[in-house]
Chains A and B, each alone.
Chain A
Amino acid sequence: MTKDNLKIFVHFLLLIPFQVLIANHLRFFGYINPQLSILFILWYPLKKDIRGFMLNAFAFGLLIDIFNNSGGINAAACLLIAYYRLPLLQFIINDKELNLKTFRYANYGTLPKIGLVFTLTFIHQTTIYLLEYFNSSFILEVFYKSITNSLFTTFVVTTLLAIFTSSSKK
């Protein structure tokens, strides 16, 4: 097992129980739960070939769905942000020739990080709520919930990123 595979396996093992047993039961204001799936997507090794990444993100989402009894909602949302992670990253940090091997979140300022986390979370949350409501007459509620949940998740995830991504890796 390579170092990268081990890292992915550990993320699976830690993030899924943390999400389904703790984060999903926080329910601030009745519905706001931080979505730590974003961390799985952010921490996944950056590569040009994203097929393995997509399969892992899909499996990660589906495992959360099994615990949540929510069909394929999380699988769809995780897969979507996995597919668009690299283009979004290149767009937000404005670097088309990004060096994938030496990339570290710690090398970039707080603002681009918040921008990236918020955009990914917002896409993730909007997908989840759109698929959960599955009804266009609730569109305003979907956006309201997506935005509030994304703001909270961005705060939690950026804090965790700052704690667990050491700057010594520069």
Chain B
Amino acid sequence: MQFILYLIQKHRNFLLFFVLQLIAFFFTIQYHSYRKSKFINSANNISGGIYNNVTSFRTYLYLKDENTLLTKENSLLKNQLFLKNKAIKSVFKDSIDATFQQKFTYSPAKIINNDFHKRNNYLTLSVGEKDSIQPDMAVVNSLGIIGITSNTSTNYATAISVLNTNFRVNARLKNNEYFGTLTWNGKEQNIVQLQDIPRQAKLSVGDTIVTGGRSAIFPEGILIGNVTNIKFEHNQYQQIDIHLFNDVKNVSNVYIIKNLHKTEIKQLEKQTYD
């Protein structure tokens, strides 16, 4: 016993080093598991608050670009309003997508921190639980997908960016029903990859890719990007590169989409599998 105590006393620096490294390693493992970094994330009042203050200053520099984007979106929405012979009950809440029969609510948010130079990038958003934001909600803007919310605090939320090697979303070709999984290989910041597309699907460069609607997170038909490179070998698609419509490096105003039927879908699926 005394010998053990002597050993601990002698190597106490190394022991402390070892224990602290173990803790750091535990947090790192959590960081690599998909959306499990419960403790170490920027959705807290201190880091969120600091990012929020800095962003409110920084956004002034990009007001012109943001205004152009919002005007374009407004004109697009106005055109759609005129085209649709439907009475829309409320413009702000409970929009019913008539094409795909899904029910979603959109709420506005601002990106207050945006990483894109790492392999696993996250966004920090200016909205949180008090704005009824929960994990697993879609983050989009008028140009397409941006991410999925992961952790939330009262006032802030973090979202896993489309530029994160753990990001997965169901995606399909706009002009037919073949679907696959959208991932990012961590290399170029505007090119993502489409995987698991069946070989009989006819693909050509320039084809538009949209969300597939097979997940309870993204509505069907949200824009993603267009095909820039196809590698077809051994009678299979080896790699399909998609150029994102969004410049994720430079986004500020976004929408968060809540699927009102998500709990119902999840419950039903759970019952079926049980």
Which residues in B have their C-beta under 8 angstroms from that of A36?
A: none
Chain A CB within 8 A of B50 CB: yes
Cβ B25 vs Cβ A76 within 8 A: yes
Contact size range, A: 20 to 34
CB distance from A129 to the nearest CB of B (A): 9
Which residues in B have their C-beta under 8 angstroms from that of A33?
A: 117
Residue in A51, A71, A131, A134 whose Cβ sees the most chain B Cβ within 10 Å:
A71
Knowing A21-B54, A30-B117, A51-B12 are in contact, say whether A69-B41 is a contact too (CB < 8 A): yes
Chain A CB within 8 A of B75 CB: no
Knowing A21-B54, A67-B47 are in contact, say whether A55-B20 is a contact too (CB < 8 A): yes
How far, in whole Å, are A131 and B28 apart by their CA atoms in the complex? 7
Instruction: Identify the closest chain B residue to A77 (Cβ).
Output: B24
A-contact bits for B39-69, CB 8 A (1 contact / 0 none): 0111010010011001000000000000000
Chain A CB within 8 A of B207 CB: no
Inter-chain CB contacts under 8 Å: number: 96
A66 contacts which of B20, B44, B54 (Cβ < 8 Å)?
A: B44
Which residues in A have their C-beta under 8 angstroms from that of B40?
A: 62, 65-66, 69-72
Which residues in B have their C-beta under 8 angstroms from that of A132?
A: 118-120
How far, in whole Å, are A65 and B27 apart by their CA atoms in the complex? 10
Which residues in A have their C-beta under 8 angstroms from that of B41?
A: 66, 69
A-contact bits for B204-218, CB 8 A (1 contact / 0 none): 000000000000000
Within 8 A of A (CB), among B221-240: none
Chain A CB within 8 A of B245 CB: no
How far, in whole Å, are A50 and B115 apart by their CA atoms in the complex? 33
Chain A binder among B29-37, B92-100, B262-270 = B29-37
Chain B CB within 8 A of A117 CB: no
How far, in whole Å, are A33 and B32 apart by their CA atoms in the complex? 22
Chain A CB within 8 A of B91 CB: no
A79 contacts which of B17, B30, B118, B189 (Cβ < 8 Å)?
A: B17
Chain A CB within 8 A of B152 CB: no
A21 contacts which of B27, B50, B117, B124 (Cβ < 8 Å)?
A: B50
Cβ B16 vs Cβ A72 within 8 A: no
CB distance from B158 to the nearest CB of A (A): 6
How far, in whole Å, are A62 and B41 apart by their CA atoms in the complex? 10
Within 8 A of B (CB), among A23-78: 24, 27, 30-31, 33, 50-51, 54-55, 58, 61-62, 65-73, 75-76
Chain B CB within 8 A of A17 CB: yes
A69 contacts which of B24, B32, B37 (Cβ < 8 Å)?
A: B37
Would you list the 10 A-B pairs with minimal beta carbon distance, nearest first?
A71-B31, A72-B27, A72-B24, A76-B24, A69-B122, A75-B24, A71-B28, A71-B27, A72-B28, A31-B117
**A-B residue pairs in contact (CB < 8 Å), sample of 28:** A24-B115, A50-B13, A51-B13, A54-B17, A55-B20, A61-B24, A65-B40, A66-B42, A66-B44, A67-B42, A68-B42, A68-B115, A69-B41, A69-B122, A70-B31, A71-B30, A72-B26, A72-B40, A73-B31, A75-B20, A75-B24, A75-B27, A76-B24, A83-B13, A131-B28, A132-B119, A134-B28, A134-B32
A sample of 5 more A-B contacts (CB under 8 A), given A62-B27, A68-B115, is: A62-B24, A68-B118, A79-B21, A83-B17, A134-B32
